[in-house]
A and B are shown apart, each in its own frame.
Chain A
Amino acid sequence: MTTRRNLLGALALTLLPNPARPDDALAAAIRAAIGDIEPIDAGIELRLPAIAENGAQVPLSVLVDSPMTQEDHVTTIHVFATANPTPGIASFHLFPGLARAEIQTRIRVAEAQSIIVLARHNNGRVYRTSARVAVTRGGCLS
C-alpha cells in the first residue's frame, strides 16, 4: 500500500542526488546554443591550468582546427561551466577576417569541474571538447 509518507520519501530520493548541480541548466544552455546537433569529439585544443590558484581569473585558450576562409570557417565557440552557479561563460562569434580560430580569455571557476567547449563551423557541424580544472580558491562569488 502506498502511503503519503512513502510517496514523500520516494519524491525526496528522486530529488536528492543533485540538489545544487545545475545539470538541467547546463543541458538547456547547450540546447539553446546548438539545438539537437550531435557534437563530434575532435578538432579543438582547449588549454586550461590543471589547478588554478585564483578561480576568479583562470586563463582559458581555445584553438579550433579551421583554415578560417570564407568557404570554411568557425562561426561560434561556446564555453560552458559544468559546476558554476550558472553554466554560461561566453559565446564567441568568429569571422573569416581572423587568422585562425583561436581565442584567449579569463574565466571564473567556482569549484573543481569540467569546462565544455563547443565549436560550430559554417558547414553546420559542431565539435566538442572538455577539460578538468581544479581551483585553490573558488572564483565565482568571492
Chain B
Amino acid sequence: MTTPLPGTPRIRIPARARPGEVIEIRTLLDHPMETGLRHDNSPAPPRNMLARLEIRRDTTPIFAADLRNGTAANPFHVLWVRMETTATFTATWTDEHGRTAATSARVLVG
C-alpha cells in the first residue's frame, strides 16, 4: 500500500479514435514541485518533489519521466500515440517519498 498524493491527477484524451489515428494525451497533476531552494538562502518550505511519471497503454509502458528541480510546478506533459485498437491509458505519478497518484482513461477505436 502506498499513501495517496494530494492533488487531482488528470489525463485528457479523446474518447474515440479511428484506426491508425494519432491522438494527443495530456497529463497534469497539481503539485508545488517545491525544491526547498531559494536564491538568497531565505527560509524555504521543505523539499516536496515528484520524482516520476509513468504512462501505460493497458499494461505496456509507453512513456516515463524522471522529474528533477527544473520541472515546473503542476507538471504537465503532452505526448502522441497511434491508435489501432481500443486501449486504456493510465498515468501514475510518484513523489520522492513514494506516495502515488494515478488516473486512467479509455479510448474506443472503431
Among A58, A97, A108, A140, residue most surrounded by chain B Cβ atoms (within 10 Å): A97
Instruction: Report whether B72 and A107 are in contact in the complex, using a CB–CB cutoff of 8 Å.
Output: yes
Provide the residues of chain A in CB contact with B69, threshold 8 Å.
84-86, 88-89, 108, 140
B93 smallest CB distance to A (angstroms): 13
Contacts of A39-76 to chain B: CB distance below 8 A: 56-58
A106 smallest CB distance to B (angstroms): 4
CB-CB under 8 A for A89 and B81, given A105-B76, A140-B35, A141-B39: no
A129 smallest CB distance to B (angstroms): 17
Instruction: Report whether B72 and A93 are in contact in the complex, using a CB–CB cutoff of 8 Å.
Output: no
A104 to B75 CA separation, bound complex (whole angstroms): 11
| B68-80 Cβ-contact flags toward A at 8 Å (1 or 0) | 1111110111111
Count: A-B pairs, CB below 8 Å? 108
Instruction: Report whether A139 and B81 are in contact in the complex, using a CB–CB cutoff of 8 Å.
Output: no
| A91-116 Cβ-contact flags toward B at 8 Å (1 or 0) | 11111011110111111111000000
Q: Secondary structure of the B side of the interface?
A: strand
Provide the residues of chain B in CB contact with A103, threshold 8 Å.
63, 77-79
Our pick among B39, B60, B63 for the contact of A94 (Cβ within 8 Å) is B63
Among A94, A95, A138, residue most surrounded by chain B Cβ atoms (within 10 Å): A95
Provide the residues of chain A in CB contact with B37, threshold 8 Å.
85-86, 140-141
A26 smallest CB distance to B (angstroms): 12
Provide the residues of chain A in CB contact with B44, threshold 8 Å.
141
Provide the residues of chain B in CB contact with A99, threshold 8 Å.
22, 80-82
A96 to B60 CA separation, bound complex (whole angstroms): 10
Residues of A within 8 A of B (CB): 56-58, 79-81, 84-95, 97-100, 102-110, 138-141
16 contacts between A and B (CB under 8 A): A81-B70, A85-B35, A85-B39, A85-B69, A86-B70, A88-B69, A89-B68, A89-B71, A99-B81, A103-B63, A105-B78, A106-B72, A110-B39, A138-B39, A139-B72, A140-B39
